[in-house]
Every structure is written in C-alpha cells, then in structure tokens.
Amino acid sequence: MSRLEDTFLADTFWKRPITLTRGMGDRVWDSDGKEYIDCSCGYGVALLGHCNPRVVEAMRRQSEKLLTCHGSFYSDAREECLSRLSKIKPEGTDKVFLSNSGTESVESAMKLVRRFTKKKSFIATVGGYHGKTMGALSLTWAAKYREPFMPLLEGVKFAPYGKADKIRELVDENTGAVFVEPVQGEGGIITPPPDYLKAVREVCDEKGVLLVLDEVQCGFGRTGKVWAHQHFGVKPDILCSSKALGGGMPIAATFARADIMDSIKRGEHSNTFGGNPLACAACTGAVDALLGDGLLQNATEMGALFKRGFEAVDSRMIREVRGLGLMLGIDMRFEVMNIILSSLERGVIVLEAGKTVLRLLPPLIITKQDVERVVEVVSIAIKVEEKKRAPGA
C-alpha cells in the first residue's frame, strides 16, 4: 500500500510495520484490530496509560470552552495547571516556563543559564541526550546526530557519565552550567552510582556553576518518585521536563530558581503555544492522576517485578538488566532490532536505546499480569534470536 507517511512525510523515523488506531491503558490496537501491550508509550509519553480518563475528561471540558489563549492574556486553564505544577515543583525551584517539547525545555534552560551567568559554555555528559534543535543538539553526545549539523554551539565539553571528578577538571571560567540526566535514557538506561549527583552538585557549588537536570524522560513518576533526582538527595537549579507531563499532549516545563528565572526579561524568551489551555488542561489531569491514583508505588513494585523477571531469563546473550522504577534496560550481546520486531509480532511493543539495549518504558498503571506477559514474550523473542545466532545454526 502506498502511504503518504512514506511518500510525503519527511523520512525521519525507522517505522514499525503497523498502523496504530486506538489506545487504552497499557494497550494499543492496530488497524487490523490486533492488540498489543505497549511498553513504549510513545517513547515515554503515555506514562499514565493511553487515554487516561482524568486527562481525557479535562481535555474534553476545555476543548468545548477555549482552545487557544496566548501568554499575553491570563487563562483560567493555565492558572489551574500552574496550581498543579506548583504542587510538584522540584525542591529548590520557584518558577516555571512553559513550552511544548523536551528539546524546547532544554533550549529554555540554556538561555536561562546564559542570561543569568553571562557565561557562554556548558558541560554535558558522554552518552547524554537532550534533543535535536541546534542548542540542545550541542549538548547531545551521539556523533551520528551532531556531525551532519556542525558547527554547533562552541564550548560544550563532555564528561564521562557517573564521574563527578571529571566535571571538576572540565569546569573553567566560561562554564555556565552542567547538564545531566539523573538516569540516562537514550544513552542506554544508565543509572549513575548513588553518590554521583550529590558529588556533581558539590562541584557546581564549589565552582559557582549551575546544575541543570534533564528529567524529560526520567521525570514525572517514571522511576517511582515524582522526580528521579529525589532518589539521590540533590536539588537542581533548573529542571527540564516534558514527555509524560501532558498525559499525551505536547507540553514542557522548565523549572528554575526565582533569581535565575527573573533574569530573563519580557520578550527575551517566549513562544506562541506554550501554556495553551488545551495542553494545560491535559497537564492538570495528568498531575491529578499521578498524585491521586497511587501510581508511584506501582512504578516501584512493577519495576522490581520486571527486573526479577528478566534477571531470571536464562540467556548468555543478556549482559545486564538495569533501570529504576519503570525505566528499564536489558543490555544484550547483539543488536536488538530483531527482538523488537519479534516481540511486536507476539503482541508486545518495546524500544531500543542504542543498538544493543532493549528499553522498556511501560505505563505506571501496568498490572502484575501484564508484566509477566511482557517478560514471557520478550524472553521468547530473546531465545529465538539466540538460537538463530548459535554456532552452526
């Protein structure tokens, strides 16, 4: 079948061979009516489950009232959303800037750093991912994303992830901030050593540079706490969040200390859609669902169940099972694309993170029964691939 997605839409994604038409909770259905357990959730977006009832209802009500309201007018929907965001604002931050995507939340953070510190360079981490607009791309590690678009922002240095001392060595008089993911997502689901973020915080304080935490993927309940950095006992100066924040709608929030946020003057940074009423209503519903439905506890319990399940799979091909809460990675000894496709055929959607890591970002509402089913299906797919690769096969 000839599809406009193939012939007209920019060819920027490797596509799975199915068309999704419906979703509810941890399930999605394709155009043939086949059902899947979705452990991709739109790369982490549908964290509260597809079409979460609180999100849908908040959007339905708002969509009958007002769809757009520029930031130059007050909005009742935005006010309500801000009341929810103020409940979950990371400790140490006092204000928020609203935009529409993860990369935009990082761009906003970069501009805040420049404006507040008047310094021009940044430190990011090896394996880190912060988005693909020119600024955020400058902080993103992978050469395949960066090199076709050189030159990017000058003066970005990369420190090995998990090693705070290396950051100390790289900071100089031009460094404005260190950008870190509390758990690396695209980089392969890497949880740093337990004292890493505290040590990074200490380096930042000692050297007078800002600490920006990118929680676009690991934040908003994904790891079993509202923010992943809460596992590590640190406070950010700026925090970037997006993906799950809108329960499926595009919205992003950059939280910052008041003195940092106030350094930006009217007109110096803004956008048309940030804080629009529909996305704000969705975000209000999403925060209510996150805090009101006991989901954080479920993330911790189901995450542990997933880990135990995969650790029990008897395969020489599994190097490591890792993750925090419901941000999970299975590091394999070979490329994982065939496992992803064969799990898909068997009704389970999983992701990759790099070539050899299977990434699972299931929704917080996933049940024990579905966790067991996912482990069963993915381990069959692993075994099939292992057999194909066995000497003499």
Ligand X SMILES: Cc1ncc(COP(=O)(O)O)c(C=O)c1O
Q: Residue 35 is encoded by which pair of tokens? A: 């059902």
Task: Measure the CA–CA gap between 223 and 296, rounded to whole angstroms.
Answer: 8
In the complex, least distance from residue 138 CB atom to ligand X, rounded to whole angstroms? 13
Q: Which of 73, 106, 85, 105 is nearest to 282 (CA)?
A: 85
Q: Considering beta carbons, is residue 9 or 258 the nearer one to ligand X?
A: 9
Q: How far is the CB of 262 from ligand X (least distance, A)?
A: 25
Cα-based distances in Å from 379 to 89, 314, 376: 39, 9, 5
C-beta of 55 vs 377, nearer to ligand X: 55
Decide if 278 contacts 290 (C-beta within 8 A). Answer: no
Nearer to ligand X, 242 or 298 (CB): 242
Local structure of 114: helix, strand or coil: helix
Minimum CB distance to ligand X, residue 140 (Å): 8
Where does this chain bind ligand X (CB under 6 A)? Answer: 43, 101-103, 106, 129-131, 181, 185-186, 214, 216-217, 242
Q: Name 123's bridge partners.
A: 157, 178
Rounded CA gap, 239 and 90, in Å? 8
Between 124 and 199, CB nearer to ligand X: 124
Closest approach of Cβ 287 to ligand X, in Å? 19
Q: Give least dist CB 33 to ligand X, A.
A: 30
Q: Which is nearer to ligand X, 240 or 366 (CB)?
A: 240
**Closest separation in Å from C-beta 162 to ligand X:** 16
Helix axes 368-389, 337-345, angle to 10 degrees: 130
What is the closest distance, in whole angstroms, from the C-beta atom of residue 242 to ligand X in the complex? 5
Alpha carbon distance 359, 339 (integer Å): 11
Q: Which residue, 323 or 370, is less far from ligand X as judged by CB? A: 323
CA 83 to chain centre: 23
Tell me which residue of 13, 14, 34, 30 sits closest to 22, measured CA to CA: 30
Q: Where would I find the beta strands (DSSP E) of the chain?
A: 20-24, 27-30, 35-38, 95-99, 121-125, 156-159, 175-180, 210-214, 238-241, 252-256, 318-324, 327-332, 348-349, 351-352, 357-360
Distance CA 112, CA 238 (A): 9
According to DSSP, the β-strands at 121-125 and 175-180 are parallel
Nearer of residues 178 and 216 to ligand X, judged by Cβ: 216
- In the bound complex, what is the minimum distance in angstroms from residue 322's beta carbon to ligand X? 17
Report the residue number, 239 or 382, with the smaller CB distance to ligand X. 239
